[in-house]
Amino acid sequence: MPGRTPLFIPGPTNVPERVRSAIDCVIEDHRAADLPAFTLPLFADLKRAFKSEQGQVFVFPASGTGGWEAAMTNTLSPGDKVLIACFGQFSHLWCDLCRRQGLDVEAVEVEWGEGVPLETFAERLAADRAREIKAVLVCHNETATGVTSDVAGVRKALDAADHPALLFVDGVSSIASIDFRMDEWGVDVAVSGSQKGFMLPAGLAILCVSRKALEARKSAKSLRCYFDFEDMIRTNADGFFPYTPAMHMLRGLRASLDMLFEEGLDKVFARHHRLAEGVRRAVDAWGLTLCAKEPKWHSDTVSAIVVPQGFDSALVTEVAYKRYGLSLGVGLSKVAGKVFRIGHLGDLNELQLMSGIAGAEMAMRDIGIPVEAGSGMAAAAEHYRSTAAPIEVKNAAVSSR
């Protein structure tokens, strides 16, 4: 099929030409004397992306799962208790990783479509008078269900209980797309990946770690080697790495950060919210619902859309891809066959997203889902038109209305 395949999965996201050009670089010496002139400012600017002044960043050649492993093994010991809510495929996988590492997992099962249950967490923390819980784990944005949780609310629960547990956040599909405030929210370890809001191919696990968590590593007894913070701390201080870094990806990361800061992080977050709201308007116009049960859970990076009973959401994604060359996200685990997902994060604007909405609408109609032709596209288009910034045309102002 001619033309570029539209990509509306929630990651990997579209890689902008500026980032692709930066990645397409000659092989360079990762021990060169002038490398720190590049890496040290990169580390400093990564902290800005997490909104942290106090934390330290680490960049591992890995996926977000490697970031999880680095977070757990550097700060905890086998047998330590962690509190986590399971409400989607990725929070479930993080829970599974903890169990495999020998941690004592206190899992709160939550209906898929909801997020972290703040009241339950507050009760568990207040009841933990022996301070057995060593870490609280929060999936900020559950990619499988399109649910965003309240990280600041979890910090309030910890503070209200005067609990010393570390606060870990999976921000793989939120950081650099949804407002995230490492220092203000008292996050101790935040994990992200290169393939979402950072607009890169998969391949980098990016972490920001608080001073409290760095101190905890001194008593952590989990086995670690490749993901050891200590090796990174020692070599990163001079702008180098303990092993061969993925220099082409780091060059792309530099270009990505430049783009994010040129737009402004708060404007990046506002753009994602506006784009997401257009998708939500389309879903309403189709007469369908989101997997996210309430507006407070709505994600600004991915929408999981529930198909009517009697239809298989996997057919929507299959028809969209085979007939229109459109990649949509499939339903995972408990919601397989029940939802399809439209990813709306990274390097994206209104007209790009309109193509994803149009393709989803066509694919649904093709398999018999009774949505009115053009209804979703019209609702999204009106939202984007009415919220667009005013412009000047031939000395006359054109405003949104």
Residue 399 has pLDDT above 70, yes or no: no
Band of residue 1 on the pLDDT scale cut at 50, 70, 90 = low
Residues 166 and 271 in one domain: no
Percentage above 90 pLDDT, the chain: 95
Determine, yes or no, domain membership for 1.
no
Determine, yes or no, domain membership for 115.
yes
One DSSP character per residue, 273-299 reads HHHHHHHHHHHHHHT-EESSSSGGGB-
Residues 284 and 182 in one domain: no
8 A C-beta contact, residue 232 and residue 39: no
Band of residue 254 on the pLDDT scale cut at 50, 70, 90 = very high
Q: pLDDT tens digits for 295-327?
A: 999 999 999 999 999 999 999 999 999 999 999
Residue 68 has pLDDT above 90, yes or no: yes
The pLDDT assigned to 6 comes to: 82
Residues 302 and 387 in one domain: yes
Q: Which CATH number characterizes residue 131's domain? A: 3.40.640.10
Determine, yes or no, domain membership for 387.
yes
* Torsion angle of the four alpha carbons 323, 325, 328, 330, in this order, in degrees rounded to the nearest 10: 60
The pLDDT assigned to 393 comes to: 86
Residues 139 and 166 in one domain: yes
Residues 224 and 361 in one domain: no
Residues 294 and 146 in one domain: no
Residue 397 has pLDDT above 80, yes or no: no
Determine, yes or no, domain membership for 185.
yes
Determine, yes or no, domain membership for 290.
yes
Residue finishing a domain among 228, 247, 262: 262
CB neighbour class for 1 (10 Å; exposed up to 12, middle 13-18, buried from 19):
exposed
Residues 61 and 103 in one domain: yes
- Domain span at residue 308? 7-11+264-398
The pLDDT assigned to 28 comes to: 94
Residue finishing a domain among 233, 262, 291: 262
The pLDDT assigned to 401 comes to: 61
How many CB atoms sit inside 10 A of residue 366's CB?
Answer: 14
Determine, yes or no, domain membership for 62.
yes
Average pLDDT, the chain: 96
The pLDDT assigned to 141 comes to: 98
Q: pLDDT tens digits for 9-34?
A: 999 999 999 999 999 999 999 999 99
Determine, yes or no, domain membership for 2.
no
Residue 80 has pLDDT above 70, yes or no: yes
Measured CA to CA, the distance from residue 226 to residue 211 in angstroms comes to 21
DSSP bridge pairs for 167: 136
Give how many domains the chain has, as a whole number: 2
Residues 104 and 168 in one domain: yes
Q: 């370890």: which residue's tokens?
A: 189
Residues 100 and 201 in one domain: yes
Residue finishing a domain among 227, 262, 297: 262
Band of residue 396 on the pLDDT scale cut at 50, 70, 90 = low
The pLDDT assigned to 289 comes to: 98
Percentage above 70 pLDDT, the chain: 98
